[in-house]
Amino acid sequence: MKLRLEKATNADSEVIFDMQVKAFMPLLEKYKDTATSPANEPIDNVIKRINYSTGGFYKILHDDILLGAICIYWKEETQFWISPMFILPEYQGMGIAQEAIQIIESQFPQATTWELRTILEEKRNCHLYEKMGYSLTGETKRLNENMTLVSYKKFVKSYETTACIS
**Boundaries of every domain in the chain:** 4-155
pLDDT one-digit tens code per residue, 109-151: 999 999 999 999 999 999 999 999 999 999 999 999 999 999 9
pTM above threshold 0.75 = yes
pLDDT one-digit tens code per residue, 26-43: 999 999 999 999 999 999
pLDDT over 70 percentage in the chain: 95
Is residue 164 classed as helix, strand or coil in its secondary structure? coil
Asked if 165 contacts 107 with a C-beta cutoff of 8 angstroms, the reply is yes
Supply the CATH classification number for the domain 4-155.
Answer: 3.40.630.30
- What's the pLDDT score for residue 158? 57
